[in-house]
């Protein structure tokens, strides 16, 4: 089955700096890659996703890049703010377009934005 590795496990940045979280996946057939943010004591919530026919997607201060050849994808957060502090999870799955296909999650990155 799919295996997703995520690095780093913890990341500390100064407010206003950029943060980058990287994930690799094992199954070359995976075609959907979402990122979830989980604040302390809360549920995970989708912040951005990318499909395999796209190399990059951006939404305000958040961007995701995908390299299918190398089987890795990354989350980029620019101009970080204290409210960006949370745990971020990457995930991969087959068949985003409907289908019951399951997400395989990375182990998470604890991002801390320091003032």
Partner 1 sequence: NAGVTQTPKFRVLKTGQSMTLLCAQDMNHEYMYWYRQDPGMGLRLIHYSVGEGTTAKGEVPDGYNVSRLKKQNFLLGLESAAPSQTSVYFCASRVWGEQYFGPGTRLTVT
**Footprint on this chain of partner 1 (rule: CB under 8 A):** 1, 6, 9, 32, 34, 42-46, 49, 89, 96-100, 102-108
Q: Residue 67: count other Cβ atoms within 10 Å of its Cβ.
A: 11
Cβ at position 108, least distance to partner 1 in Å = 5
Residue 20 or 96: the one with the smaller Cβ distance to partner 1 is 96
End-to-end Cα separation, the chain, in angstroms: 41
Cβ at position 64, least distance to partner 1 in Å = 14
DSSP, collapsed to helix, strand or coil, labels residue 16 as coil
Residue 32 or 73: the one with the smaller Cβ distance to partner 1 is 32
Cβ at position 102, least distance to partner 1 in Å = 5
Structure tokens given for 67: 């390299």
Q: Can you give 43-70 as a three-state secondary structure string?
A: CCEEEEEEECCCCEEEECCEEEEEECCC
Cβ at position 73, least distance to partner 1 in Å = 15
Contact status, residue 4 vs residue 105, Cβ threshold 8 Å? yes
Residue 7 or 16: the one with the smaller Cβ distance to partner 1 is 7
């Amino acid at each position: 089955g799919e295996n997703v590795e995520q690095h780093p496990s913890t990341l500390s940045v100064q407010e206003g700096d950029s943060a980058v979280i990287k994930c690799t996946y094992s199954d070359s057939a995976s075609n959907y890659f979402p990122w979830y943010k989980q604040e302390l004591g809360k549920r995970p919530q989708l912040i951005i996703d990318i499909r395999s026919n796209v190399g990059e997607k951006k939404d305000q201060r958040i961007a995701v890049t995908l390299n299918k050849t190398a089987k890795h994808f990354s989350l980029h957060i620019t101009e970080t703010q204290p409210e960006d502090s949370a745990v971020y999870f990457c995930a991969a799955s087959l068949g985003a377009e409907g289908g019951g296909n399951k997400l395989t999650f990375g182990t998470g990155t604890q991002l801390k934005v320091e003032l």
